[in-house]
Structure 1
Amino acid sequence: MTETILVVNAGSSSIKFQLFAVGAGDRLERMIKGQVDGIGTRPRLVAVTSQRAILADETWPPSEVATIPAALDKVIAFLRPQIGGNLPDALGHRVVHGGPHYASPVVMTSAILSELEKLTPLAPLHQPNNLAPIRAVLERRPHLLQVACFDTAFHRGHPELADRYAIPQSLYAEGVRRYGFHGLSYEYIAQRLPQVAPQISNGRIVVAHLGSGASMCAIAGGKSMDSTMGFTAMDGLPMGTRPGQLDPGVVLYLLTEKNMTADAVQDFLYKDCGLKGLSGISNDVRNLLASTDPRAALALNYFTYRIALFTGMLAAAMGGIDAFVFTAGIGENAPAIREAVIRRLEWLGLRLSSQANKKNALCISRKGTKIPCFVIPTDEELMIATHTLQVMRKREYAGFQEKSA
């Protein structure tokens, strides 16, 4: 019987999922991709095969799918007939924050769940939602293997200088440090580079993960050296609704001069800033690119300006730069943004091929350019499935060793 792995990425009102089969030689084959969105309002499940054939398009009354666990039940009920009436052999979960203690994928238990829940203040938009389906499965099917894969893990090998803030040691010991995020995406890109661009795969590469959440990473020799995100997923680049780099004095001003509560400030910084705040129009780059409003142009110019600034910072962290990579939703699909970024980096040796850029080609730089530029689609779900399979095999090996002994 074919083994299967279900990858789950839960948000505040949606669950994205992908089902993988474990083929010959432990090759992972994507079977089904889908999501349940509108949880609690207009719940809808849409699923397609790996060839994009529609498998399901179902809706329910809001009361029937009002929570993340209820949505996961619908996903499992849909998938079981697709895999012979069985449950998946394992679930792999994206968990945004692993804190100072979790630097690799971990088998979930109630005790570890409690530890991860303590990190919620560091990722209030993501952590509770990431953990909700894990909790539900632990309660209902405690013997089903669940593996948490952390967005912070890829960055845990940073040099100490990159992890530190200029604050007392006691706070650093408590875990107040720069973590970095989008690590599953960067890990995938680092593993993909030897296949698509072997000439630069061991070099000094700046990767820009540009989506509604956006960050950048310095990767040298396949390892993370520094990142634009820090203690939380709010630092660094401006994002759809998050401000990115911000003077802490602004937060103090909101608290003391605007009399905002801590909760109000948190909501404001996570939901009302970034491209949405700058433009006053939208947090969606597609809408801003289509708009003739000068505020939309300001927001996009600010976005590409900050990407260029942080490129210089990350290049300094590595002592130079050998290549630049765009990835994620905006990075993979917005030629205008890529062009604006590269124009700002021409001083560094980047040169754009307009034709290749418009085609979303793998390499979008001119032939002979000093620093080549690539567009590489990310695949965080495959990365999670890979880690989950590795955990499965380690458990099987440990069980075999125990029986042999």
Structure 2
Amino acid sequence: MSQQILTINAGSSSLKFAIFDADSMDCTAIGMIDGLGTDPNFVMKDGDGSKLLSDMLEGDHFVADHAGALRTVLAAIAEHLPEARIVAVGHRVVHGGLVHSAPVVVDNDILRQLADLVPLAPLHQPHNLSGITAAKAAFPGVPQVACFDTAFHRAHPFVNDAFALPRALYDEGVRRYGFHGLSYEYVTGKLTEIAPDHAGDRIIICHLGSGASMCALRHGRSVASTMGFSALDGLPMGTRPGQIDPGVLLYLMDHKGMDAQAISNLLYKESGMKGLSGISNDMRDLEASDDPQAKQAVDYFVSSIRREIGAMTAVLGGLDAIVFCGGIGENSRTIRQSVLADMEWLGIEIDREANREGAELISSGGSLVSAFVIRTNEELMIARHTAECLARPTSLQNTGLTGKTPAQSY
């Protein structure tokens, strides 16, 4: 019976999973249940991408929460991969706070620590922890490993980490954390494989999806991120506003009578592309629409990315390469074209045909700055971290320490 690592990425309305051979890291199955709480749909494919099942989950046999979703996933694994033996479960956890700069084996103490961080990531952290709880019940005694989206950014210099607030707030953890770290880590490694000449260069990675952010890297390490204390800051997203003047929030409190819960709902669920367009939070819907408000929302998204490219280039002191990843970054040639149009002043010249074809390299031969499209793979990153964490001495598995500094951890 083969030993497998199961990875779980529990979102607000979805549960993504993948299974990897514990030795070779070959993917044997991948899938997702989305629409939890509304119209759940289950898709599962084998490691070659062939569909194993596609099912609208209806009826009394399915409980539409994360525990029910995990039970459905486990039943499908048992049916389609009867020889698989799960020896560890790796989880994406959005926020690791000040303490966790490396993956950890989760025990009850760590679970309580991560629960204390829910206010910093209310859209994600509760569901991440629900996935851990459900997996602990499903696999008694099997190690559960938390892999943090914030860990990749823990080596930022102070000026890119702090807010201009009283220093005591910084010391207690009110600072810029950055997110999407598992994606950035994978893409950074992949870029080194496909373009080793850029390994030590000044790089901007654009993770563009329903959640969107950008990261500036020097020598393969994150030095700045558009996201900050929470997953609200920076670029506009599907339902989140991105950068906003805090005075707007004070106005909503003082003159609109909105309390913290109402503002939280506005910022996490009703803003971004959904709020700007009044149509949809899905970029595919907005690109297909002839409604002027849809176009305005898309233009705002593109303009925000272009502004941040300038800011990140200034942080890096120049630019050698830019990378697109995430659902929008990988699949929308229109967004990539719009973002990079007329960027010759920065040394970027896009190859329109390569971009239309979705090529890996989309900059022209004469471009001073290389532009890439790289498909991210957070699941593989989680599986690798899970295996590495279990290989550490037992005394270090629950500490989040690797014997390296945070800057060296990745």
Q: TM-score range by the shorter chain?
A: over 0.9
Query: Quick check: 1:21 aligned with 2:18?
Result: no
Match of 1:277 in 2: 275
Once the two structures are TM-superposed, the CA of residue 300 in structure 1 deviates from its matched residue by 1.1
Find the aligned partners of 1:153 and 1:267 in 2 and give their Cα distance. Answer: 27
Tell me the secondary structure at the aligned position of residue 92 of structure 2. strand
Tell me the secondary structure at the aligned position of residue 278 of structure 1. helix
Tell me the secondary structure at the aligned position of residue 216 of structure 1. strand
Equivalent residues, number = 396
In structure 2, the CA distance between the partners of 1:367 and 1:15, relative to structure 1 (3 Å rule), is same
Find the aligned partners of 1:18 and 1:138 in 2 and give their Cα distance. Answer: 17
Query: Quick check: 1:291 aligned with 2:289?
Result: yes
Match of 1:45 in 2: 42
Tell me the secondary structure at the aligned position of residue 257 of structure 1. helix
Contact 2:18 2:31 in 1 (8 A): yes
Tell me the secondary structure at the aligned position of residue 156 of structure 2. coil
1:256-335 matches, within 5 Å, as: 256-335=254-333
Tell me the secondary structure at the aligned position of residue 197 of structure 2. coil
* Bigger shift: residues 44-53 or 171-180: 44-53
Tell me the secondary structure at the aligned position of residue 382 of structure 2. helix
Query: Quick check: 1:233 aligned with 2:258?
Result: no
Once the two structures are TM-superposed, the CA of residue 85 in structure 1 deviates from its matched residue by 5.6
Find the aligned partners of 1:398 and 1:99 in 2 and give their Cα distance. Answer: 18
Q: 160, 184, 187: which is aligned to 1:186? A: 184
In structure 2, the CA distance between the partners of 1:63 and 1:42, relative to structure 1 (3 Å rule), is farther
Question: How big is each residue's C-alpha offset from its partner over 1:92-124, in whole Å with a ceiling of 9 and x where there is no partner?
Answer: 100111111111101011111111011111111
In structure 2, the CA distance between the partners of 1:398 and 1:209, relative to structure 1 (3 Å rule), is closer
Once the two structures are TM-superposed, the CA of residue 136 in structure 1 deviates from its matched residue by 2.5
Contact 1:305 1:344 in 2 (8 A): no
Once the two structures are TM-superposed, the CA of residue 275 in structure 1 deviates from its matched residue by 1.2
Where structure 2 has 5 or more consecutive residues not aligned to the other structure, the ranges are 398-410
Contact 1:48 1:54 in 2 (8 A): yes
Where structure 1 has 5 or more consecutive residues not aligned to the other structure, the ranges are 400-405
1:58-207 matches, within 5 Å, as: 58=55, 59-61=57-59, 64-84=62-82, 87-139=85-137, 141-207=139-205
Find the aligned partners of 1:123 and 1:280 in 2 and give their Cα distance. Answer: 25
Tell me the secondary structure at the aligned position of residue 194 of structure 1. helix
Tell me the secondary structure at the aligned position of residue 179 of structure 2. coil
Find the aligned partners of 1:259 and 1:77 in 2 and give their Cα distance. Answer: 48
Contact 2:202 2:216 in 1 (8 A): yes
Once the two structures are TM-superposed, the CA of residue 83 in structure 1 deviates from its matched residue by 4.2
Find the aligned partners of 1:84 and 1:64 in 2 and give their Cα distance. Answer: 21
Once the two structures are TM-superposed, the CA of residue 261 in structure 1 deviates from its matched residue by 1.1
Query: Quick check: 1:54 aligned with 2:39?
Result: no
Contact 1:15 1:71 in 2 (8 A): yes
Contact 1:308 1:345 in 2 (8 A): no
Question: How big is each residue's C-alpha offset from its partner over 1:35-78, in whole Å with a ceiling of 9 and x where there is no partner?
Answer: 12333444443211122222223434267313211211221222
Question: How big is each residue's C-alpha offset from its partner over 1:315-362, in whole Å with a ceiling of 9 and x where there is no partner?
Answer: 111111111111111111111111111015332111111100000111
Match of 1:402 in 2: none
Find the aligned partners of 1:131 and 1:319 in 2 and give their Cα distance. Answer: 39
Once the two structures are TM-superposed, the CA of residue 396 in structure 1 deviates from its matched residue by 7.8
Find the aligned partners of 1:139 and 1:27 in 2 and give their Cα distance. Answer: 27
Tell me the secondary structure at the aligned position of residue 147 of structure 1. strand
Question: How big is each residue's C-alpha offset from its partner over 1:187-222, in whole Å with a ceiling of 9 and x where there is no partner?
Answer: 011111111111212100011000010000001101
Find the aligned partners of 1:348 and 1:158 in 2 and give their Cα distance. Answer: 24
In structure 2, the CA distance between the partners of 1:202 and 1:50, relative to structure 1 (3 Å rule), is same
In structure 2, the CA distance between the partners of 1:257 and 1:95, relative to structure 1 (3 Å rule), is same
Once the two structures are TM-superposed, the CA of residue 27 in structure 1 deviates from its matched residue by 2.4
Contact 1:308 1:344 in 2 (8 A): no
Q: TM-score, normalised by structure 1?
A: 0.94
Q: TM-score, normalised by structure 2?
A: 0.92
In structure 2, the CA distance between the partners of 1:338 and 1:38, relative to structure 1 (3 Å rule), is closer
Aligned-pair Cα RMSD in Å:
1.8
Tell me the secondary structure at the aligned position of residue 232 of structure 1. coil
Amino acid at match of 1:33: I
Match of 2:29 in 1: 32
In structure 2, the CA distance between the partners of 1:256 and 1:370, relative to structure 1 (3 Å rule), is same
Find the aligned partners of 1:154 and 1:190 in 2 and give their Cα distance. Answer: 11
Match of 2:408 in 1: none
Once the two structures are TM-superposed, the CA of residue 87 in structure 1 deviates from its matched residue by 4.3
* Bigger shift: residues 271-280 or 79-88: 79-88
